[in-house]
Chain A
Amino acid sequence: MSTFLGMPVHAPRGVGHLRGDESFPDAARTALGDSQLRRNLQHATTTIRGKSGRVIAELPDWQELRSAGSALKSYTMAHLPELLEQLEEKVTAAGGVVHWAADANEADRIVTDLVRAAGEQRVIKVKSMATQEIGLNEALEAAGITPVETDLAELIVQLGNDKPSHILVPAIHRNRSEIREIFLRAMPGVDPKLTDDPPVLAGAARRYLRETFLSTKVAVSGANFAIADTGTLAVVESEGNGRMCLTLPETLITVMGIEKLVPTWQDLEVFLQLLPRASTGERMNPYTSMWTGVTPGDGPQNFHLVLLDNGRTAVLADEVGRQALHCIRCSACLNVCPVYERTGGHAYGSVYPGPIGAILSPQLTGVADNASLPYASSLCGACFDACPVKIDIPSILVHLRNQAPHPRTEAAVMAAAAYTMDHPRLYRSAQRAAKLSRIAGRRGRGLPPPLNGWSASRDLPAPPKETFRDWWRNR
């Protein structure tokens, strides 16, 4: 029994948001047809690339910091059991309570029970990828508890009955005038004269949430970092909604993936330099809160930390793919990805979109459940260059493609092609036959599916009169 229980398993189906309803190419087609979405994404990603590039260029040791960050994450993975137990010991000693959740269902249950035990019907939430991953809001609502998202972008998504489309800026697909419309439509008590000036929109969110912050007794957060040797947790944010949630309520529940550990307090010096510059393109984000357990008289007097597996150990079991656990959720790979820039985040189906999502989601769920995601990349490599902890995303994509279930026809064609290529005589006759051009007709318009996806918008080159090797033999 214990052997069975102790083997890594994927995130369970039927709970949370790691699997989409349709394949990436199908979902992408819808997104590509939305010209407003494409303009919004292009504007936002171009802006952030410029900002990030400028502040990264200010640091003479950016590459050294990346190397240190990468090594620290490898070290953390190799020592995960000891570091997690150390974290638990330190948090407990400082007055916190640590819970372990093997999957999304267990984590949802732990949090719901804690809110119930506090006797509350409403929680305020700081933006957290882990709680989105496990579908915590749905679980709380099913238990009659209202979760209030307090991050501006999450609020836009929640009020617009929408889905998040970016790790850092879940409403990146919305521009200012769309945000104004959503606020006018769905924000109780909003000023009808609201303009689309960003500070005015931010001010509206401030007024709307202020009373909720002051009157809610339980908050739920994620964590950017957890320091094993001190038990300290860190949340990196901009607006101050994080500070509100981490400071005002009586009870704080933090849900954190087991990979978020940092070995020592001093190691934070690396990640606090990498994260803001890579994510929002700032030298430092406006607010970072750090707390260790409970501080008498200051902040929440009940602190619960939920450590979440939900497929992470399955990722860890893959020697190549485990690098995906090094991710610090900066979203730099999304912002530089030419695919993400055109399709947006919804096409990826999972709460983790973009290049990191294309390697993380299939590993958390098992590749078969997200089989189109490893192919949602042209392997251009921009993500690898942008990653502050040097995750080799293109190599992991190729690795996962090798594990993905393949369409039968494609597999037959690939096997035949490999056989031909391994027999030079066959290869030469295949070349001479120039079958492709005959089937394809002029400009390749007569190609069968799936090859007609190419010829819909591109001409095939006219086949040459002689191949190179014919020329070589005849020269």
Chain B
Amino acid sequence: MRIALFVTCLADTMFPAAAKATVLLLERLGHEVVFPEEQTCCGQMHINTGYQKDALPLVKRHVKTFEPYDVVVAPSGSCVGSVRHQHAMVAGADAGLAARASAVAARTYELSELLVDVLGVEDVGAYYPHRVTYHPTCHSLRVLRVGDKPVRLLRNVRGLDLVELPAAEQCCGFGGTFSVKNADTSTAMLADKMRHVLDTGADVCTAGDASCLMHIGGGLSRLRTGVRTVHLAEILASTEA
């Protein structure tokens, strides 16, 4: 299958390892990955901060960039959530754009959705000999409703010891600009999330969103806990070789 990568601006700039892993994983499974270079950012930060007018050109760009492709994947529940639930709204009165945005959204998948629902794979042949806990990010869980798809994929990874995260469904406190505008509240939420991660005894905390991992990882690093954050794509791309 020919799959277009919607890399997300955050993974492109700060977490290329997650994006590379997505490419290598899909290629290993026998698919062709293409990267439309005109893409930049889906506009989620602008939309969620109250700047829909500024986001409009970004939505237009996103739609135009990904329109030609039958299947689009992103290693981010949050950005796919924005495409699926916000782009048509931002298009607003421009009914033509809204319809095109909806069409692109219908073909856009978060990585675990693509693997399980579209490609029908739950065992991707990965090997990752670590004790891992999974944080189901809010937008994967409650906007996309990916359910246990990421967990099903992780359970099939050889060598991986999956440990359940207490209070897993609670937000880590990132929330985009929330972590800046309400830094104190965000920090209090993060403190509880980190405590739960540490309680599991895992050496790796994984998730399907680089943004939440940046937040949790930033806290874990500051406290020198030794627990690493690794994107789900990187775990699924790992092999014994």
Contacts and interface: CB of A to CB of B under 8 A. Distances in A.
Given A381-B143, A382-B142, A418-B51, A461 B171 contact: no
Nearest to A392: B85
Interface in A313-341: 338-339
Nearest to B17: A464
Contacts of B182: 24-25, 28, 339, 375-376
B57 A422 contact: yes
B222 A457 contact: yes
Interface stretch (B93-101, B120-128, B211-219): B211-219
A450 B175 contact: no
A216 B141 CA distance: 52
Contact of B179 (A414, A453, A461): A453
A450 B180 contact: yes
A424 B40 contact: yes
A379 B175 contact: yes
Contacts of B28: none
Interface stretch (A69-77, A252-260, A293-301, A465-473): A465-473
Interface in B72-96: 85-86, 89
B239 interface: no
B9 interface: yes
Contacts of A32: 184-185, 188
Contacts of A343: 185
B233 to A, nearest CB: 12
A285 interface: no
A417 B52 CA distance: 13
A131 B179 CA distance: 35
A378 B11 CA distance: 20
Contact of B189 (A378, A385, A414, A444): A378
B38 interface: yes
B175 A377 contact: yes
Contacts of A443: 221-222
Given A25-B184, A379-B176, A381-B142, A460 B218 contact: yes
Contacts of B17: 464
A404 B50 contact: yes
Given A415-B54, A461-B217, A378 B186 contact: yes
A431 interface: yes
A384 interface: yes
Interface string B28-62: 00000001011111010111111110110110010
Contacts of A457: 183, 187, 190, 219, 222
B9 to A, nearest CB: 7
B222 A458 contact: yes
A417 B46 CA distance: 9
Interface residues of A, number: 60
Contacts of B215: 458
A453 B182 CA distance: 8
A380 interface: yes
Interface in B171-220: 171, 173-190, 214-215, 217-219
B138 A411 contact: no
Contacts of B55: 418
Given A382-B169, A424-B40, A431-B13, A451 B180 contact: yes
A153 B52 CA distance: 42
B73 to A, nearest CB: 14
Contact of A342 (B15, B35, B46, B185): B185
A424 B12 CA distance: 13
B7 interface: yes
Contact of B9 (A398, A421, A463): A421
B135 interface: no
A402 B40 contact: no
A277 B141 CA distance: 23
Given A414-B54, A421-B40, A422-B40, A380 B180 contact: no
Contacts of B190: 457-458
Contacts of A415: 51, 54
Given A406-B50, A469-B7, A418 B142 contact: no
Contacts of B46: 414, 417-418
A307 B188 CA distance: 41
B218 A414 contact: no
B14 A401 contact: no
Interface in A408-431: 410-411, 414-415, 417-418, 421-422, 424, 427, 431
A444 B176 CA distance: 17
Contacts of A459: 217-219, 221-222
Nearest to A434: B13
A454 interface: yes
A456 interface: yes
B185 A28 contact: yes
Nearest to A367: B50
Given A378-B174, A418-B51, A451-B180, A468 B20 contact: yes
Contacts of A450: 180-181, 183
Contacts of B186: 378, 453
B222 A469 contact: no
A466 B54 contact: no
B138 A379 contact: yes
A146 to B, nearest CB: 38
B50 A464 contact: no
A29 interface: yes
A293 to B, nearest CB: 44
Contacts of B20: 468, 471
Interface in B1-33: 7, 9, 11-17, 19-20, 23
Given A339-B185, A468-B16, A469-B37, A454 B179 contact: yes
19 contacts: A28-B182, A28-B184, A32-B185, A339-B189, A375-B178, A378-B173, A378-B175, A378-B178, A378-B179, A381-B138, A381-B139, A382-B170, A398-B47, A398-B86, A414-B46, A421-B58, A457-B187, A457-B219, A458-B222
Given A381-B138, A406-B50, 7 more contacts: A24-B182, A342-B189, A379-B178, A414-B54, A458-B221, A459-B221, A467-B12
Interface of B: 7, 9, 11-17, 19-20, 23, 35, 37-41, 43, 45-52, 54-55, 57-58, 61, 85-86, 89, 138-139, 141-143, 169-171, 173-190, 214-215, 217-219, 221-222
Name the 4 nearest CB pairs between A and B, nearest first.
A453-B183, A378-B175, A458-B218, A401-B50
